[in-house]
Amino acid sequence: MVRCSSKNEISVAQGPAGTLPSGIPQFSVEIANTNSQVPIANIHLSCKEFSSATLVNPEIFKRVAVDDCLVNDGRALAPGAALSFKYANTKQYPLAVLSATC
């Protein structure tokens, strides 16, 4: 039997990714399933009042409520898979896993 503690199997990394021509900082985010055997779905991140000056593909990342953002439109992230996106804002948002399902 494969074990999965879903919240601990998701890594979230982000950092600076340059600036827009308008001078607004950009940030790059990578969300990865670190479990090598089990897909993980319904990944929700704590994201405060996340917003971006540039469009973030809502199928990859969207705010569904205050401090609740949905990853990959709720679809499973395959074992070892990662997805990434960029956003632009004057500040970097703290992103942390709220919940996920194995």
Domain positions in the chain:
6-101
Which residues touch 98 (CB under 8 Å, ≥6 apart)?
7, 44, 45, 46, 68
Q: Could you tell me the pTM of the whole model?
A: 0.92
Helix (H) or strand (E) run with residue 64 in it: strand 61-65
pLDDT confidence of residue 12:
97
pLDDT at 5: 72
Tell me the pLDDT tens digit for each residue of 35-94: 989 999 999 999 999 999 999 999 999 999 999 999 999 999 999 999 999 999 999 999
Percent helix, percent strand, percent coil in the chain, to nearest 5: 5, 50, 45
The stretch 21-31 carries a mean pLDDT of: 97
- Is a pLDDT exceeding 50 seen at residue 1? no
6-101 adopts what CATH topology? Immunoglobulin-like (2.60.40)
